[in-house]
Structure 1
Amino acid sequence: MTTDKWHPHPMLYAAAVACVVAIGITAAFFLMQPILRFASIDKRQAPLLDGDTSDEIWIRAEPVSALTAHGGDFGGSGETRVEIRALHDNENVYLAFVWSDPTRSFKHLPLVKEDGQWRLAQTQEAAADVEGGAYEDRLAIMLSPPGAFLIGGAIHLGVNPLPSKLGSLSKRGLHFVHTGVRLDVWEWRAVSSGLSGWVQDRHLGPPIEPTAEQLAGHQRYEGGFVVDEDEIPSELNFRSSFAGQSVKPLRLPAMAGSLQTAERLNLLAHHSKSAEDIRYWGLRKTESVAYSPAIDAQIPDGAVLPGLLINDDKPVPEGEPQCAADWAVGFWTLECRRSIISADRDDLTFSSGMLMWLAPFDHAQTRHSYHLRPIKLELE
């Protein structure tokens, strides 16, 4: 007598195993997800924004960290770990970020005068791939509403991920989202933020239509990235960006003789020896005048002109992110403050359940390091 035994179909068996594995991965994702808790404080205890986390109140904040990888440089490793602390006083949130970076980098596309003409001191800006030391350090902070949004939904690789629009100058891809999700992005920049106190406030959404300058190849197309209205702490101090060609500055120093020469400044090094060097790489609008041939004629060959124009003629808008940073012994420390309630329609109001991603740049234009698992925010 024989006994029939049930043998599951191999495909059914594989599907069952896949479901178990998927459930396990999903559970692990949420159980191991780092949670950044915003400790509640009295407004009178708010930390001073100075790039120094020695304020006693920061002890109240439990730190979390994220290891970011696949970036440019960072000592050749492409990796850096970012530690984050957070506080709130029911009116503002306060965030402190500390990450390793072997060098303090301030240079941002400086111009050098040669044979009476201004030229870029590097060669890759037209390809959105300045990785050779002529770009400032940066940290991007991306926030999304509560939910299961994955960073992969905003990353689209390839030379032309949008066939009906412009491709990526770097030929590595674009950032945008197809859904109705609108992401809030802060971008701290060592020079423009350091001289203005602003964190550039941006948002990420569906692909935007390219401008005439982008279609002409004079400006980089950024997919779904848009700077919030009137949130521009700095801009390039020249129009054309074709490598090797002469460029016309927008503004010149009010005192033509105040510029340093290429012999005195190291245009090739990835680092700046002193925090005071920041004054060589950003031209404040309040200390400059509109370009004129007469003033330009007073500037000798060999002079170095900052490639960044700092819009310091107006204060940081009320409720927008403000910041202060400092670099010491291989680490950047950045402190930020922003109102809990969104200041405009492009910002997100802080609430429990929001997600955060971080992207440090080590003197790189586009090759930032990143992490995939988001940090979940909780406000006490």
Structure 2
Amino acid sequence: MRQRKTDYGTIILHWTFVAAFAVALVTGLRIATETPDRTWINWFDAVLPRDSVWIAHMQAAIVLVAVAIGYIVYMVRSGLGRRVQLDKVRLRGLFGRGQARLSAVIALMYWIFFVTMLGLLVSGGALYFGFYSGYDVAMLHWVGTWVILAFVVLHVLTQYKSGGASQLLRIFRPAPLPAPPPRLDAVELLGLLAERSARPPESENLDAPPEVPHPLQPRADMRRDRASEADPAPRPPAGPARSRNPTLQANAFVVAAAAAITGASLIVATDRLAVDSVQIRRINPADAPSLDGDTSDRAWRGVKPFSLLTGEGGNFDGKGEARIEIRAVHDGTYAYFLFTWQDSTRSLKHLPLVKEGDGWHLLHSGFQLGDEHQYNEDKFSVLLTTSDVTLAGGRTFHPGPQPVAGAPATMSGRGLHYTATGYADVWQWKATSGATGWMDDAHFGPPLNPTPMQAANVVPYKGGFAPDPGTASYRDNFTVEADTSGGPRRSRLVAPLRLPKVVAATTAALGDIDLDPNHGESDGARWFMTDQDSVPYSTDTDARIPTGTVIPGVILGGEFSGDRADVRSAARWASGHWALEVKRRLDTVSQFDVPIKTGVFMRVAAFDHSQIRHTRHVRPIRIEVE
């Protein structure tokens, strides 16, 4: 049997796509492990990449775009569009038999593949550039991936069905691109019909099955093969052939490759030139804004906000997205930022305690795994780095259940923040814990040695995330013994660390108590106790507190100090939005901080009563200081 072959252009484009899609697939699956309901992907942890997955994913996406452009140009220039032509004749084949039906199914599968790939590229672009970040676009991207995988399986099966192993192996056997047949004019058509009618009937093999064109084989090849089988000696065409440009035809793949490279280069150049940036305008020190969460300060007037859409976070009314606006000014010594973002609820309930008949219980949904996503306070974080390649944490976040070899696995099954060298500056504001006016100053650095509690999986290992040296003014109001309730929401406590001096006063400070984590707190409510309005735990004091009492899980006392106290802040919630004002020196002269200057890159993230499930954006924001 004659070995079937495929034109070299199709082979190159085919295997380039396969390689790029394989990279996009494995990196995409690794990225998807950060989605809470997809931790089952960690079963394939051994074969998924660990480093720079976002960067590799984006690079693979660029190659896929280039292949798509090249394929379209190649099909047009080479005249092989009949491979995937879905006309009326081929559609009728769906209701036919044998090879006619198979050919129609293959063509239809190709168009489903084209539409799905278009959806993947468009949804990926929307997520990357921040045009849309909702769960529906992410879900479209996710479903499209599995449609492509299903297509791959069906593609191999239908190719084998259409021609056996020879049909499958042809993608490994390159051949020159055949010149497309000349178009028939009326005179040539009449001549061919007359020639066929004059041919003896014995020359026709009526028992041979009809040969149906296949998407992977151009009809010109089939006509050439049929002609060579019927008559070994070549015959001149019945009529004059229309002239074609032989140079363009011979270089169809070169033209396609040039178009693909040009298209990919334009995308990369556009991405580099259209950098998202925040302008930090200079003001007089006398015009510096007051840190009170009020957005009407004179300093913010006339400052054009930078706006971006962040997504794929937890909660936020089930959408997982929040639009964030950034304004910034400086007075030569301090930089001032105003961050505003959407959040329909003012969530202050951070791990509250409820007294029941058998003792105190902690309300939670994942605290012991380091992934509390119900009873947590609203938060906001800022990351500063000198690296512009930090795509969605490409250099500071490492996905997977055990990113650090030799260190404890993550209890949540999700990844860790750390850097290979140096530090990334991290500020974190907390709606309850930060009520005293500080934004916790922390950093991502090289992986830390696990503590004995972390090594024993009693508390989660945090990789390279740690607060800057110094002290904070908040702490948890409990110690956990073990989960003895059997339910996911409550954990048995040894005891609270502190109890209210006056239960009625603490209860009144909590406002309208609603323990539904999706409901916000009433105006004026505060869900913390201070050292002044509480006393250390004792059994006598505990005995006087009635069953059903709710007390805060946060104690405020003391002051922030050291490097940890470099960032001051104040926030206010109103009408479904948080407004957070922040102040920090342009240069703190700390090894754990990044100076605020032109060329530094920023990332921001919002948390809706969630510990680690924050929103994110892929592209970094470049700071430009006036």
Q: TM-score, normalised by structure 2?
A: 0.55
Counterpart of 1:52 in structure 2 is 294
1:220/1:233 CA distance change after superposition, 3 Å: farther
- Contact 2:511/2:524 (<8 A) preserved: no
Deviation at 1:324, TM superposition (A): 0.8
* Bigger RCO (CA 8 Å, 6+ sep): 1
Counterpart of 2:431 in structure 1 is 190
2:555 pairs with 1:305: no
1:156/1:253 CA distance change after superposition, 3 Å: same
1:15/1:289 CA distance change after superposition, 3 Å: farther
Counterpart of 1:166 in structure 2 is 408
Counterpart of 2:496 in structure 1 is 249
Counterpart of 1:137 in structure 2 is 378
User: Which is higher, the Rg of structure 1 or of structure 2?
Assistant: 2
- Counterpart of 1:102 (choices 344, 349, 353) is 344
Q: TM-score, normalised by structure 1?
A: 0.89
- Contact 2:601/2:623 (<8 A) preserved: yes
Secondary structure of the 1:192 match is: coil
2:397 pairs with 1:152: no
1:268/1:379 CA distance change after superposition, 3 Å: same
Counterpart of 1:236 in structure 2 is 476
Paired-residue identity, % = 37
Matched residues in 2 for 1:227 and 1:55: separation?
31
- Contact 1:106/1:271 (<8 A) preserved: no
- Contact 1:233/1:310 (<8 A) preserved: yes
Q: Give CA deviations for 1:304-331 in whole Å, capped at 9, x if unaligned.
A: 12111223x2256687111111111111
Please show how residues 1-380 of structure 1 align to structure 2 within 5 Å: 20-115=262-357, 117-132=359-374, 134-145=375-386, 147-150=388-391, 151-178=393-420, 180-193=421-434, 195-240=435-480, 242-243=482-483, 244-260=491-507, 265-278=513-526, 281-311=527-557, 313-314=558-559, 320-342=566-588, 344-380=590-626
Moved more, 243-252 or 363-372: 243-252
Deviation at 1:189, TM superposition (A): 0.7
Higher relative helix content = 2
Deviation at 1:263, TM superposition (A): 12
Deviation at 1:115, TM superposition (A): 2.1
Tell me how large the CA RMSD over aligned residues is. Answer: 2.7
- Contact 1:105/1:137 (<8 A) preserved: yes
Matched residues in 1 for 2:511 and 2:430: separation?
26
- Contact 1:39/1:60 (<8 A) preserved: no
Matched residues in 1 for 2:453 and 2:502: separation?
31
What is the number of equivalent residue pairs in this alignment? 371
Matched residues in 2 for 1:269 and 1:16: separation?
56
Moved more, 121-130 or 135-144: 121-130
Deviation at 1:215, TM superposition (A): 2.1
- Contact 1:218/1:242 (<8 A) preserved: no
Matched residues in 2 for 1:211 and 1:307: separation?
24
Deviation at 1:205, TM superposition (A): 1.4
- Contact 2:499/2:537 (<8 A) preserved: yes
- Contact 2:370/2:459 (<8 A) preserved: no
1:274/1:162 CA distance change after superposition, 3 Å: same
Q: Give CA deviations for 1:17-63 in whole Å, capped at 9, x if unaligned.
A: 66545533332222221111111011110011111111122124221
Deviation at 1:345, TM superposition (A): 2.5
Amino acid at match of 1:161: P
1:106/1:358 CA distance change after superposition, 3 Å: same
Secondary structure of the 1:277 match is: coil
Deviation at 1:188, TM superposition (A): 0.7
Matched residues in 2 for 1:66 and 1:56: separation?
24
- Contact 2:388/2:620 (<8 A) preserved: no
Counterpart of 2:131 in structure 1 is none
- Contact 1:83/1:99 (<8 A) preserved: yes
- Give unpaired runs (5+ residues) of structure 2: 1-244, 484-490
Higher relative strand content = 1
1:259/1:57 CA distance change after superposition, 3 Å: closer
- Give unpaired runs (5+ residues) of structure 1: none
Moved more, 100-109 or 159-168: 159-168
Amino acid at match of 1:141: V
- Contact 2:512/2:521 (<8 A) preserved: no
Secondary structure of the 1:81 match is: strand
Amino acid at match of 2:444: L
Matched residues in 1 for 2:476 and 2:255: separation?
60
1:353/1:288 CA distance change after superposition, 3 Å: same
Amino acid at match of 1:191: T
